[in-house]
Amino acid sequence: MAMSGGLDSSIAAMMLIEQGYDLVGITMKTWDYAQSGGSKKETGCCSLESINDARQIAVSLGFPHYVLDIRDEFNEYIVKDFIDRYLEGLTPNPCILCNTHIKWDALLRRADQLSCDFLATGHYAQIKKHKDRYVISKSKDENKDQTYVLWGLSQDCLKRTLFPLGSYTKDYIRQLASKAGFKDIANKKESYEICFIPDDDYRGFLKRQVKGLEEKVDGGKFVDTKGNVLGKHKGYPFYTIGQRKGLNIAMGEPMYVKQILPVTNTIVLGKEEELYQKIFTVNSLNCIKYEKIDREMELSIKIRYKSKAYPGKVWQLDNNRAKIELDEKVKAITPGQSAVFYENDDVVGGGFIDEVEETVDSRQSIVGNIK
């Protein structure tokens, strides 16, 4: 049982105990907050407080609890990737990569060592069987559904995964916690920041982690969609697609970040209507409901965690890539973020947004090997 010390994993553990499972609780230590150098105090899933909360829940429910130290692996695979993606002009979502390549892999290896059959988490999602495939399906609570961040899980992972909360609402889970006497966790504040950036300041984090970054990228050009120079900016890694605030440039009308060109340290600005696009590709394709998308499929596509799903067509280009054409233009499709494809409530697959129509494919960073 993966335990963060929060409400969801704690009640998931309680449910499984009631269902007759024998549990072993695992809390992962992924990051030392001192490494982030931010101003906010230690909070969230890796804090000492959360680890102690997880242990206390395990003790109260009568099963053993261990802390799994994966800081080296997490730093090597997740934190460095996060930095590299920003230096490539992308906007990453490290939680998705962490779920796919760190949490499940590390926890299933530990499960094997402990002779555990399954890995359970407190995610709001469901797993169903479709023919010979294991399928991730949306949770009952649409507002808390977390299928978007789980699209990278393999069939080998899914067949050994349990999501006890998937058929319940968050309000019901809070009620269960209160009735069970876990009032502290029932009212515990949820954390939405990236775990290794507790102050939610990714720009400050990049500056602290990449020596000389500010000096290297400061003074790049803002240009419009016709190439006209509009002014200077503070460095391309510090901007995101769709950003309007903080540009410090007066144009007489609102301007937005339309494209990031790291090779030339250029930020392309556009009017709001110029941010809308409909055709893009994804890489690192993972098919879940079907072994492959062997025909053009009409599906619903989410391009960011909290956005609605948009109808469109998806077809597979090769083993690693797919092309998507939405039925309508959508604002700020962002390279580096994930696109997840749904058939009704089921996840068909997903991938990382790569090339977007009407943008230049530019992935080589001018920062080079500076770290």
Q: Strand, coil or helix: what is 120?
A: strand
| CATH number of 7-186, picked from 3.40.50.2000, 3.40.50.620, 3.40.190.80, 3.40.50.10800 | 3.40.50.620
Q: Which two tokens stand for residue 164?
A: 């006890």
End-to-end CA gap in the chain: 36
Q: Locate 108 and state its tokens.
A: 């299933």
Q: What are residue 305's phi and psi, to 5 degrees?
A: -55, -50
What's the CA gap between 236 and 262, in Å, rounded? Answer: 6
Q: At what angle do helices 202-209 and 80-87 cross, to 10 degrees?
A: 100
Beta strand 266-270 with 220-223: parallel, antiparallel or unpaired? parallel
Per-residue model confidence as pLDDT tens digits over 303-362: 999 889 999 999 999 999 999 999 999 999 999 999 999 999 999 999 999 999 865 444
- pLDDT score of 34 more than 70: no
pLDDT tens-digit series, residues 175-214: 999 998 888 887 877 766 788 898 889 999 999 999 999 9
Torsion over CA of 201, 48, 58 and 30, rounded to 10 degrees? 50
Q: Are 263 and 364 in contact (CB under 8 A)?
A: yes
Which of 1.20.140.10, 3.40.50.1360, 3.30.110.70, 2.40.30.10 would CATH assign to domain 216-371?
Answer: 2.40.30.10
| Contact by Cβ (8 Å): 83, 208 | no
Express as a percent the part of the chain with pLDDT over 90: 78
Distance from C-alpha of 292 to C-alpha of 271, rounded to nearest angstrom: 38
What mean pLDDT comes out for the span 241-246? 94
* Rounded Cα gap, residues 313 and 40, in angstroms: 43
C-alpha to C-alpha distances, 93 to 78, 231, 279, nearest whole angstrom: 10, 29, 21
| Cα(194)–Cα(220) distance, integer angstroms | 28
Q: Which residue has the tokens 């080589």?
A: 364
Catalytic residue ranges: 98, 195
For the chain, the structural domain boundaries read: 7-186, 216-371
Q: Return the closest-CA partner of residue 351 out of 296, 275, 292.
A: 292
Which has more pLDDT, 82 or 359? 82
User: How many residues does the structure list for the chain?
Assistant: 371
pLDDT given at position 32: 78
- The whole-chain average pLDDT of the chain stands at 90
Give the burial class of 329: count Cβ atoms within 10 A of its Cβ; 0-12 exposed, 13-18 middle, 19 or more buried. Answer: middle
Each as own residue / partner, the long-range contacts of residues 93-100 (CB below 8 Å, 24 or more positions apart, any chain) are 93/149, 93/305, 93/336, 93/337, 93/338, 94/194, 94/196, 95/149, 95/194, 96/149, 96/151, 96/152, 96/338, 97/152, 98/30, 98/74, 99/149, 99/150, 99/152, 99/153, 100/152, 100/153, 100/286
pLDDT surpassing 50 at residue 125: yes
